[in-house]
Structure formats: C-alpha cells, structure tokens
Amino acid sequence: MNTLVKAGIALVALFGAFVMMLVVGVVVIAKAGAAEISDGGGGLRGVPAEFRPWILRASAACTHRELSPALLAAQIEAESGFSTSRSTVSSTGALGPAQFMPGTWATWGRDDDGNGDTSPWDIGDAVMSQGRFMCSLIGDAKASGIPGDVRALALAGYNAGWYAVTHAHPPGIPPFAETQDYVKKILAAMSKFQGPGVLQVSGTGSGPDAVRRALTRVGTPYAWGGGGPDGPSTGFCDGTNGYLNGSCSASSTSGFDCSSLVMYAYWPSLHLPRTAAEQYGATSNHPVARGDLQPGDLLFWAHGSSIYHVAMYAGDGKVVAAPRTGRNVEVAPMASAMPERDYYGATRP
C-alpha cells in the first residue's frame, strides 16, 4: 500500500463473535505414495500457520464473497511475503504484514487479537484490518458501476487509493505501473493458495507439528543467511554463498536458508541454534537410523565431516527443505534432495 491510499472510506461493520479455528491436516495416510492432502480445508493452502486462522476469519467476516481467503493470502504475499519482522517497513513508511500507512491504519486498525495493543505488526490485527479495508473497497467497486473485476478495482484502491480509481480516465485501474503490476501479480498468484496442501503429515508431537509448520512455507525463496524464528528475511553473501548469476541474490531476497527453516519450524517449542552444523551438534546425542526416521527428524549432509545442509524428514520418503540459492522451500524425495554420497546422518530433536 503506498502513500496515495485515502482513509476516508466508510467502515464496514464486522460480524459478531467468530470462533477462530486453526485446523491443520492430521489425517493419517498409511500407504506410500500419498502426497496430496488437505491442510485444513477452507479453500486455503500454502500460507504460514500463524496467518491461516486470521485469513479465514477475515474472509468470513466480509459479506462480499469476492474477498476469498486466497485473495487475502496472495495480497499479503505481495505486500510483505508474510513477514512478521518489526523491520517490515517499506520505503514509503508502510508497516507490517499488510503494509498499512500510518494514516490508513488509524482508520482501519483494531485490536483484533485482544492482546491490548492495536499494532500493524500483530498478525491478527493486520489481517483483520486488511480484510475490513478490502471488504469496504469491494463494496465501493460494486456500487460505483465502474466496469471490470471488482477484486481488481479493490486491489487498485488498496494500492493507490479509491480516489485514483474513480478519477482515472476512464475510471478503473489507474495508469500507474506499480498499481497495474500489483493487481496483476495478486490475481495471478491466487491459484497457488487455493485447494489442498502438498503433503499429509501423520501423528502428533513436536516433530510432526514442526513439519506442518515448515510446509506452510513451501514456495518461499531461498536466501543465504536469511530467515529465523519470526519468518523469512533478507540474507547476505559471504564471498562464496548467496550469489545467483554473478550477483548477490541473498541481500535482495526475503526467504530462508536450510537451517533457518528448521529453526522456524521448531520455534517456539524448541529453540534450535542457527546453523546446520550447530543444529547437528545440539541434537547428535539422539541419532536416528535411516530405517527409523519419523516426521520432524533432522537429516544432515556433509563434505567429509563439514556439515553443509539440513532438511526435515516429512514422511513417505520425503523431506521439506530450503535447498539452495535460486530455489524455493520444497518437498523432495530424500534420495535426491542432496547428493547421496554426502548423507551424514539423522538426529531427533
């Protein structure tokens, strides 16, 4: 959201009490080969677990069905990449996961998570406020009579301000490259947030829960030195790592590297150290044979005795991992995730 956003849009009344449901897929699949499952229904997949219940709630609170969970998810991805870091501030001063300008936040912000603080960095407050604003904009788009997709018009209003939409020539998505790219990007990204999740994880406990949390980040870019307990962040280059096509990709990419994804997945129930080597050192007193792997076990690869990669066993012979620069967090067969000759061993946190 940029500085063109206008805050003088009528507030949409929020539905009464809603039961917040954080539903994570737990149906057990016994036979090998089963990989496509639901991550909890609601027509939403691939979002961080901490965002999921709020996105579903914000969508349900709007009387306009065009405000789908997938639309809200794609918009948050475009705004911040689901970042929860307090450093998530744009060059124009937009704040938090939904990138609210302070003036706009003063109109739409509410203490939806009930923690006593109305903050654009609180996930619940940000997402519910995003939903209220978008719901109002969709209503304005419907009432305006302006031809076109009301979702696109609402997104343009969120980015450039409703005034810019109504005073374009002709009225519609204004001729700003930023706004037009914003609308196209979000509508195109919606499909990846619709439907079932990517992998069924059976069982309960810290290991399966960590895998489920990691799976919500599938598709997040790899960033050497990036990421941590709060989610993805930009990384850095060290002279050897973080480069893509000769330039430092990590410093401009918000994402995870292999060990920060593992750290994020287990946090806060278990505070693992930052690097793959340190994670091996912290868990090596609980080695696991390859034939006894369970979801959440950590797998390590090394050159000699120098560990360079960690992944999480996800079940069914697969791992979830952030593989390398230029790739995204993914689910992959364990046998081909890294060179087989480099496999070092597994541990159970």
Within 8 A by CB and 6+ apart from 191, the residues are: 70
Question: In the predicted model, is pLDDT for residue 17 greater than 60?
Answer: no
| Mean pLDDT across 75-102 | 92
Distance of CA 301 to the CA centre of its chain: 27
Residue 280's pLDDT band, with cuts at 50, 70 and 90, is: very high
**More confident site: 15 or 4:** 4
pLDDT given for residue 171 in this prediction: 96
Confidence of residue 201 (pLDDT cuts 50, 70, 90): confident
CA proximity to 255, closest of 230, 233, 281, 278: 233
Please report, rounded to a whole number, the percentage of residues in the chain having pLDDT higher than 70.
87
Of 93, 78, 90, the C-alpha closest to 156 is 78
Pick the CATH number of 206-347 from 1.10.287.950, 3.90.1720.10, 3.30.70.3190, 3.10.50.40: 3.90.1720.10
| Mean pLDDT, all residues of the chain | 86
At residue 315, the pLDDT reads 92
* pLDDT at residue number 194: 85
The residue ranking higher by pLDDT, 24 or 83, is 83
pLDDT confidence of residue 35: 30
Going by pLDDT thresholds of 50, 70 and 90, the confidence category of residue 196 is low
pLDDT(25) > 60? no
pLDDT tens digit sequence for 171-194: 999 999 999 999 999 999 999 898
Residue that wins the pLDDT comparison between 53 and 76: 76
Q: What confidence tier does 53 reach under pLDDT thresholds 50, 70, 90?
A: confident
Query: pLDDT-based confidence at 249, cuts 50/70/90?
Result: very high
What pLDDT does 118 receive? Answer: 97
Report whether 301 contacts 343 (CB < 8 A): yes
Q: At what angle do helices 276-283 and 258-266 cross, to 10 degrees?
A: 50
CB-based contact 296:213 (threshold 8 Å): no
Is residue 104 very low, low, confident or very high in pLDDT (cuts 50, 70, 90)? very high
**Cβ atoms 255, 246 nearer than 8 A:** no
Model-level pTM?
A: 0.57
Q: What percent of the chain has pLDDT over 90?
A: 72
Confidence of residue 311 (pLDDT cuts 50, 70, 90): very high
Question: What is the architecture, at CATH level 2, of domain 52-193?
Answer: Orthogonal Bundle (1.10)
Tokens found for residue 11: 């507030």
| Rounded alpha-carbon distances, angstroms, from residue 112 to 60, 82, 116, 117, 140 | 14, 18, 9, 9, 24
Question: What are the boundaries of each domain within the chain?
Answer: 52-193, 206-347
pLDDT for the residue 139: 97
Q: For the purposes of burial, counting CB atoms within 10 Å of the CB of 270, is it exposed (0-12), middle (13-18) or buried (19 or more)?
A: middle
pLDDT confidence of residue 186: 97
